[in-house]
Amino acid sequence: MIVTRTHIALLAAASVGAASAQTQSISVSIGDLSGPGFEARGLRLELAGDSLTRATLRIGELAALDHRWHDLAVRCNAFRLERSTVACDAGRIEQPVTLPVAFCYDLDAAAGSVTLSPAPGERWHAVLEPLPAGGSARTITLTLAGAQLARVQAVAPALPITLGAGAVDGVVRATRAASGRTEMRGELTVRNAAFSDASGLHAGDALAGRVAFNGAHAGAPGSAWRWDIDATWSEGEVFWDPVYTKAGYRLVAAGTYGGRTFEVGEATLAMQDIGEVRASASVDLATRAIVRARIETAELPVPPLYARFLKPLAANSALGELRTDGRLRASATVQAGRVTEATLDVDDLSVEDERQRFALFGVYAHAPWKEGARTEGRIGMSGAEVQRLPLGAVGATLDIGSEDVRADDFNIPVLSGLLQLRDLRVRRTDEGLAWQVSGALSPVPLPELLAHFGLPAMQGTIAGEIPRVRYERSTLTVDGALTIRVFDGTVTVTGLQLESPLGLAPRLRADLDARGLDLDLVTRTFAFGRMTGKIDAHIADLVLSDWRPVRFDARVASSPGDYPKRISQTAVNSITALGGGGAAQAIQETALRFFETFGYSKLGITCRLENGVCRMGGIEDRLGGYVLVAGGGVPAINVLGYNRDVGWEELVTRLKRVLDANVKATIQ
């Protein structure tokens, strides 16, 4: 405190002289004023009017709450100067904001008060308490009643968020001893607060809570503040892109703050319905870098953790619609801004896609990771489903490195077969996780497999070597060929690529080549009408979006070679319905209607799908159309098609109508 009785004596003498001499104004330099947590410099008091009852207090610089303001002005039309007391019962602050104010300062007691009453029911009251008898400690107390948070914005416009509403009640007390030791303590309650930012990506509404804090500084050069805090968020909701969450948090923490370092010795965040997270940290304030940190969770239930935090992050992927169960525990260590150790433990985790695309059951995992070293972990599950296809229990040992995870061999039961995977490698890239694997599939009967997808049974098995499968940049790629044995023939898939397999609209690309498929088995399976012989098929540039065809160039034709070739009336009708020809009518109008089957020399159909339209063709062009079946043997029949361009949806509808009709006919 630099203001002394000398100032007030001079000011009183000047006021008496001024009154006797009818002086209209006077200006007195007061000097500086300081207390715990604030400092005012360049104070000047200007008096005017009869008996000098109008006053203006100018403050060159005011420092408080880690902020500084310059050139403040306080005007008072009810100024009082009584012995050692300077008071204003009704004044207003004009800079940097306009606010009603009342103040009183007693130089004898070195004590005073300031009261701001910006609105009805709102009060900011600061008291600089008198020196205790025989003591030298100074105490200042700030009492808030209905203090509007929006007023903080006016004096701190650089805040990254806008405080739109809310009121604060509570008391903050600061004490400074002659030795320099300073102590602060306070308890504040927030009601109906709201905030937002310009981007709209961060906002809160109807917020309420309580915070109690303590701080102490020894006053010695180089010493640090010791602090602790107990904060509870009890009401309201917050959106902090991409996470939306509601109230139900309590933070208890303690640490130090000094120079350029902020230390959190211990902190516990309790999350309602979830559990606790414990942490400690050291932050370099100059660089805003984490020098060291340790984070560890208690055992957390997965369902509320997923709903509150993980689901918003995965909203635009297949992981955005899950039913979950199970528990997990995690920990991490940070040194010099880098994660150096981390561990994830998962127990009895179940994940089910609400659209029934996949499910995992009884997942367990222990995955310890350490920078610059390799560790051993484990992972497994009791079962799974992929598009309703059941998979059996699996377990594997993990070799975990700084940049990758490896698993040598593990087996997954698939119905009555076995999927044997080898050389699994998962690595971290700038775009995210990437992995690759190879393996083999032991024979799985196709009737058993297709029954799980609700598809007609086909004779044959699916088996063979699985070449290397790679996943990177949200794209799954199969190097080499996949081979399927079906209908006594072979189907080979090459160029297989699947984009965004976990997205809402996966996109598949592939080329398919089928050789020597038994037509009798094919047509009996799909109720197309009886046909004998063999066919080859080639589908180039196949593209599926969300598992629906958008482009391909397909050609189906009878296989070369000498073998029995017969086609039934039902099959002729089915082919005619697809191609738009008139063979069916020709049969009914001639003696051919008495024959159940006919001979043919070759058959074929083509379809080039693009922009939702199938450009159709056959073996060759003839009579303004195209040949689908060329006659041969006795009796023989030719089937022609005439519709060149058919909408894909229309073609699918025709095929479904044909199959449904043939099934009904068979039942009768």
HSE value, Cβ hemisphere, 13 Å, CA-based, for 370: 7
Q: Could you tell me the pLDDT band of residue 51, with boundaries at 50, 70 and 90?
A: low
Residue 492: phi and psi, rounded to 5, are: -115, 130
Task: Write out the DSSP string of 569-596.
Answer: HHHHHHHHHHHT-SHHHHHHTSGGGG-S
Q: Could you tell me the pLDDT band of residue 659, with boundaries at 50, 70 and 90?
A: low
C-alpha distances in angstroms, 162 versus 165, 168, 244? 9, 16, 18
Between 397 and 443, the more confident residue is: 397
Between 478 and 658, the more confident residue is: 478
Q: Give the three-class secondary structure for 9.
A: helix
Q: Which two tokens stand for residue 410?
A: 């593990």
Mean of pLDDT values over 529-556: 92
pLDDT at 459: 67
pTM summary value: 0.73
As a whole-number percent, the residues of the chain with pLDDT over 90 amount to 42
Mean of pLDDT values over 62-67: 71
Mean of pLDDT values over 372-386: 94
Task: Write out the DSSP string of 169-197.
Answer: EEEEEEEE-TTS-EEEEEEEEEEEEEEE-
pLDDT at 48: 80
β strands within 500-624, DSSP E: 507-518, 534-545, 548-558, 566-568, 597-610, 613-617, 621-622
Residue 317 and residue 502 in contact, taking contact as beta carbons nearer than 8 Å: yes
As a whole-number percent, the residues of the chain with pLDDT over 70 amount to 87
Q: Could you tell me the pLDDT band of residue 381, with boundaries at 50, 70 and 90?
A: very high
C-alpha–C-alpha distance, residues 352 and 358, integer Å: 6
C-alpha–C-alpha distance, residues 578 and 662, integer Å: 14
Does residue 17 surpass a pLDDT of 50?
no
Region of 516 on the Ramachandran plot (φ > 0 left; ψ -120 to 50 alpha; else beta): left
Does residue 311 surpass a pLDDT of 80?
yes
Q: Could you tell me the pLDDT band of residue 470, with boundaries at 50, 70 and 90?
A: very high
C-alpha–C-alpha distance, residues 305 and 276, integer Å: 12
Residue 108: phi and psi, rounded to 5, are: -65, -45
Residue 605: phi and psi, rounded to 5, are: -150, 145
> Is the backbone peptide bond immediately before 501 cis, with ω within 30 degrees of 0?
no
Question: CA 73 from chain center: how many Å?
Answer: 49
On the 0-12 / 13-18 / 19+ scale of CB atoms within 10 A, 372 is exposed
How many residues are recorded in the chain? 668
Which residues, listed in sequence order, are joined to residue 445 by a DSSP beta bridge?
461
Q: Which two tokens stand for residue 638?
A: 């030719």
Residue 74 and residue 116 in contact, taking contact as beta carbons nearer than 8 Å: no
141-182 per-position pLDDT tens digit? 999 999 999 887 766 667 788 888 899 999 999 998 888 889
Q: Could you tell me the pLDDT band of residue 663, with boundaries at 50, 70 and 90?
A: very low
Q: Which two tokens stand for residue 296?
A: 């560890």
User: What is the largest distance, in Å, between two alpha-carbon atoms of the chain?
Assistant: 142
Burial 113-131 (b: 16+ CB within 10 A, else e): bbbbebeeebbbbbbbbee
Residue 48 and residue 54 in contact, taking contact as beta carbons nearer than 8 Å: yes
Does residue 523 surpass a pLDDT of 70?
yes
C-alpha–C-alpha distance, residues 185 and 190, integer Å: 17
On the 0-12 / 13-18 / 19+ scale of CB atoms within 10 A, 583 is buried
Residue 545 and residue 622 in contact, taking contact as beta carbons nearer than 8 Å: no
- Weakest-pLDDT range from 2-16, 157-171, 173-187, 591-605: 2-16
Residue 584: phi and psi, rounded to 5, are: -60, -45
Does residue 551 surpass a pLDDT of 90?
yes
Q: 569-579 vs 648-667: helix axis angle to the nearest 10?
A: 160
**72: closest CA among 159, 11, 155?**
155
